[in-house]
């Protein structure tokens, strides 16, 4: 299944399907066979980049509504 990304209002980014998460050096995180994971948006997780539910304790509020992005700028 291709990856699906859902951004939750007041919560995490959820990735489902076939995906890999790597650090800045290209090293893959061991996901223990998970096919769904939540990524932190609030910055309060003790397990970044993964969500640990800290957004609830931190009172993180950010409503999400789908929208069109402007066209990408040409690469130089």
Q: What is the pLDDT of residue 57?
A: 96
pLDDT at 1 over 90: no
> Strand ranges (DSSP E) for 1-76?
4-7, 13-16, 36-39
Residue 39 covered by a domain = yes
pLDDT at 76: 80
**Confidence at residue 25, expressed as pLDDT on a 0 to 100 scale:** 98
Residue 53 lies in a domain: yes
The answer to whether position 73 is within a domain reads: no
Owning domain of residue 7: 1-66
Write phi, then psi, for 18 (nearest 5 degrees): -95, 120
Give the tens place of pLDDT for each residue, 3-56.
Answer: 999 999 999 999 999 999 999 999 999 999 999 999 999 999 999 999 999 999
């Amino acid at each position: 299944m291709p990856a699906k990304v859902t951004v939750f209002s007041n919560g995490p980014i959820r990735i489902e399907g076939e995906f890999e998460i790597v650090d800045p050096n290209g090293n893959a995180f061991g996901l223990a066979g998970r096919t769904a994971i939540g990524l932190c948006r609030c910055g309060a997780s003790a397990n970044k980049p993964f969500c640990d539910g800290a957004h609830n304790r931190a009172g993180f509020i950010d409503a999400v509504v789908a929208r069109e992005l402007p066209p990408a700028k040409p690469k130089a």
